[in-house]
Amino acid sequence: MAESKKELVLNAMDKKPVPRVPSGFWFHFLDDALHADAFAEPKLNARVLESELRYIDGFRPDFVKIMTDGFFAYRSPAVRKARTAAELARVRPLAEDDPWFERQIAYAKEITKRHGDEVATFYNLFCAGTTLKFMYPGALTEAEDFLLGLIHEDKEAVKAAFAVISADLATLARRLVKEAGVTGIYFSLQNHRGFGHDRSVYDEVFAPGEKEILRAANEASDYNILHICGYEGHHNKIDWYADYDVKTINWAVGVEGVPLEEGRKVFGGRAALGGFGNLPSDVLYSGSRAEVEAETRRILEKAGRTGILLGADCTVPNDIDWQRLDWVRAAAAEA
């Protein structure tokens, strides 16, 4: 009996032999995904759900990263209004029945009840630091300066706030698996830049909450993905995450200059997701069919076929022709 797409992906994550290397790509469904608020505008959630299901039904991907456009922000007035570390530290845990939990679980369940048996589904979650940056009204670079300014102002206050937010994110991760039926989470984080740009600050302030979220996810599922985000050219030292307990890792091979075969050495040979650049200038978006197929073969010749899931550095442009994604899948099946 042939493997289902879900079995194919889980076996790849387990580094078992697979008849073909699976692939998966994703894109935003809202024009301003960073600042969209589905709690203030419920119609946005309906639009994202409809678009996600249209993509799954139309393209039949090997696996699904459940996009969370409209749900990026943490539902806390204290966090949204905070402009000092002391104000940020006033955050309190959300109630168990808060809409921030319930709406996201309901959204994920709409996808898994239709497709959860046939394809693996990974719900997108951001770490506390990234969540706070998305809640800042300015550009991401300004948001990062703001967050690092808070750490400089009162590191202990920021650590206390991160602990509260991370605990709620950990609860959400666990409930998404147990109640919504997702396969696992796709957990996005990145190094900080600017003040305190060293590992000791990261390990003290950022890492504890991130590891707590992964512990909760791993308690609920063996199949979770870590995304070391290179969005807009954000450079990361991927070795900072070598001790993070997660089945599969996705990093920006283009931004970091670390191909799959080299990055896997950093992570002890664990499964890897990626290989393709995600920019309009990259071959996946702009190359000919022959070039996309050749790049697929090149990646697999270097990285091998075991413990590999083909994908991109991050989200691909939302106007990409889905046929291009199928070129990758077909070429991988023949490699």
**Cα distance between residue 195 and residue 184, in whole Å:** 33
pLDDT band at 158 (very low <50, low <70, confident <90, very high): very high
Give CA separation, 98 vs 72, 171, 181, 254, 299, in Å: 15, 12, 19, 39, 44
From 213, 292, 53, 23, select the one nearest 45 (Cα to Cα). 53
Kindly list the distances between the CA atom of residue 214 and the CA atoms of 246, 266, 270, in Å, as whole numbers in the listed order: 7, 19, 16
- The whole-number average pLDDT for the span 211-239 is 95
What mean pLDDT is predicted for residues 165-182?
98
Distances (CA, A) of 168 to 121, 223, 282: 21, 20, 37
Q: Say what the alpha-carbon torsion angle 302, 27, 129, 184 is, to the nearest 10 degrees.
A: -70
Q: What is the mean pLDDT of residues 139-158?
A: 92
What CATH number is given to the structural domain containing 205?
Answer: 3.20.20.210
| 264 residue type, one letter | R
Question: In 10 A of CB 95, how many CB atoms?
Answer: 9
* Distance (Å, whole) CA 205 – CA 151: 8
Give the confidence band of 194 by pLDDT, cuts at 50, 70, 90: low
Nearest partner of 27 among 271, 279, 230, 330, judged by Cα: 279
**pLDDT-derived band of residue 233, with 50, 70 and 90 as boundaries?**
confident
User: Averaged over 206-232, what is the pLDDT?
Assistant: 96
- Residue 197 is predicted with a pLDDT of 63
Residue 335's pLDDT is 86
pLDDT at 163 over 80: yes
* Sequence-separated (6 or more) residues with CB below 8 Å from residue 243: none
Number of structural domains the chain divides into: 1
pLDDT band, residue 83 (cuts 50/70/90):
very high
Within 10 Å of residue 181's Cβ, how many Cβ atoms? 16
pLDDT in tens, 260-278: 999 999 999 999 999 999 9
Sorting pLDDT into bands at 50, 70 and 90, what band is 14?
very high
Tell me the residue range of the domain where 44 lies. 5-334
d(CA 207, CA 261): 25
The 10s digit of each residue's pLDDT in 91-111 is 999 999 999 999 999 999 999
- pLDDT, tens digit, for every residue of 30-74? 999 988 999 999 999 999 999 999 999 999 999 999 999 999 999
For residue 79, the one-letter residue type is V
How does the average pLDDT of the chain come out, rounded?
A: 95
Nearest CA-CA partner of 280 in 249, 312, 236? 312
Q: Is the pLDDT of residue 195 over 70?
A: no
239-259 mean pLDDT: 97
Is the predicted pLDDT of residue 189 greater than 60, yes or no?
A: yes
pLDDT of residue 141: 85
Read off the pLDDT of each residue in 111-132 and give the average, rounded to a whole number.
97
Contacts (Cβ under 8 Å, ≥6 apart) of 279: 254, 285
pTM of the predicted protein model: 0.97
Q: What is the pLDDT of residue 2?
A: 63
SS (H, E, C) the chain: CCCCHHHHHHHHHCCCCCCCCCECCCCCCCCCCCCCCCCCCHHHHHHHHHHHHHHHHHHCCCEEEECCCCCCCCCCHHHHHCCCHHHHCCCCCCCCCCHHHHHHHHHHHHHHHHHCCCCEEEEEEECHHHHHHHHCCCCHHHHHHHHHHHHHHCHHHHHHHHHHHHHHHHHHHHHHHHCCCCCEEEEEECCCCCCCCCHHHHHHHHHHHHHHHHHHHHHHCCCCEEEECCHHHCCCCHHHHCCCCCCEEEECHHHHCCCHHHHHHHCCCCEEEEEECCCCCCHHHHCCHHHHHHHHHHHHHHHCCCCEEEEECCCCCCCCCHHHHHHHHHHHHHC
232: confidence class by pLDDT, cuts 50, 70, 90: confident
**What is the C-alpha separation between 171 and 175, in angstroms, rounded?**
6
Q: What is the pLDDT of residue 273?
A: 98
Q: How many CB atoms lie within 10 A of CB 80?
A: 14
